[in-house]
Amino acid sequence: MQTKSKPRFDPNSPQIKAYLDDVHHNTFTNQGTMVAFPTCLPGMTIQFPPDESHITALAATADGTVYGATSGRRSHIFVAALHRLNGIVLDLGTPAGATQAAAVCCTDSRVFAFVNGPRGGRAISAPLLDLAPQDFIQEWGFERPELTDHGECVPGEPVVHAVMDASRKTIVGLASRHIFTLDVTTYEKRVVAEAPGIGKIALASHGGIFGRDEGGSLWHFDAASQSLRRQAVKLPDGFGDEPLQWAAERPGGVLYTADSQGTLYSFAEPAIFSQPLGRVPLTPVGPMAVTFDGRVFGFCGDEMAKMFCYDPYRRQIANLGVAVSVIERRRYGYVFGAAVTGRDGEILFGEDDDGGHLWMYFPRIHVPVVRTGNFPTMPGRIPDLPK
């Protein structure tokens, strides 16, 4: 019987050369620039211990100062000033007994961190720091603010996540079985409703706060009336039981989330999910943030995550590769736990790994695309593209 011979492998074939070229140029960050900033003032202070530096919560103030908190053997609350002549991640302190950071929220005058430990989930706050006058070149100095422990948020329950409400007078938090509120002026805490503690929560476009509910749905919480509607919005098909990640176009803007297959959706109040926007390269979908021109950047996948970008004007999802920073020294980033948009439109990612760094991603400049119909049109003249 005649057998068909196996094709001979040709390392010089156009297909193999194209494959090797793609591996070489697109495995790691292939658009924009990544910078991995250590958790210190380089050359002056030491970084957080490796097993205390998993960055799992980030938030930004109106002026672009970033606050965050870590998880590990001990939790650290920190502030990062990375503009002008600053360039510092400053350790604000380690709350006693805290080993996991669930969320950070910034008011006009204080930062609130929600941390977990043997005593359950607690709220810790400190005054905001003004690091702008410091240039960290000539003689400098500052005092760390005193951390205030506001006690357990829900007795016996860890905190899952927390966000500022639309009025910026109240923080709404989710514990393992209850929703709670924290008045940022009086520090009064109230347990207001029962809801499953599944993943992140988000502030939507009309001021409602949404979180994952049972039965393939979302619950809706109105902070003004402190009323909860269970199973208020049905999720599209494809969502399993996984916790949700959210990204907001701006505070109180259009939200983005993804299902268990990595299909991305946008969501706006009162209860409108978009058609599928596309599928990211890997699952599960991790932290995401939206820059000023509307593009969504995030990470997806376990253990060796890849970054992706959703461009709403081109209606495309791009695979931007595994994170790598080659500024000063080479570092690879594989696991990330938080994301926030910075002062100038850069995206900051918190590395959820031993020796975690604060990664700054500077996206490629966006080339505007004009679309007709009911899709938004980019302002300004479209530049002539090179031929």
Query: DSSP labels for 91-132?
Result: EEE--TT--EEEEEEE-SSEEEEEEEETTEEEEEEEEPP--T
Q: Hey, is 141 helix, strand or coil? A: coil
At 377, the pLDDT band (50, 70, 90 cuts) reads very low
> In the predicted model, what is the mean pLDDT of residues 64-80?
96
Between residues 100 and 380, the one the model is more confident about = 100
Give pLDDT, residue 15: 76
pLDDT at residue 19, rounded to an integer: 65
Q: For residue 33, how many other CB atoms are within 10 A of its CB?
A: 14
Residue 229 has pLDDT above 80, yes or no: yes
Q: What is the pLDDT of residue 376?
A: 47
Q: What is the pLDDT of residues 107-120, one digit of tens each?
A: 999 999 999 998 88
* Beta strands across the sheet bearing 209-213: 202-203, 209-213, 217-222, 227-234
pTM, full prediction: 0.89
DSSP 338: E
Q: What percentage of residues in the chain have a pLDDT greater than 90?
A: 72
- pLDDT of 223 reads 93
Q: Please state, as a whole number, how many other Cβ atoms lie within 10 Å of the Cβ of residue 61.
A: 16
What's the rounded mean pLDDT across residues 273-295? Answer: 96
Q: Average of pLDDT values for 294-305?
A: 95
Least confident of 5-9, 17-21, 227-231, 302-306: 17-21
Q: Report the alpha-carbon distance of residue 275 to residue 312 in Å, rounded.
A: 13
Q: What is the pLDDT of residue 9?
A: 73
For residue 226, pLDDT over 60 is answered with yes
31-137+144-362: CATH class: mainly beta
Average pLDDT, the chain: 89
| Gyration radius of the chain's alpha carbons | 22
Give the number of other Cβ atoms within 10 Å of residue 215's Cβ.
8
pLDDT at 64: 84
d(C-alpha 124, C-alpha 151), whole Å: 8
pLDDT of residue 43: 83
Pairwise pLDDT comparison (75 vs 144), residue with the higher score: 75
pLDDT digits over 137-176, tens only? 777 777 788 999 999 999 999 999 999 999 999 999 999 9
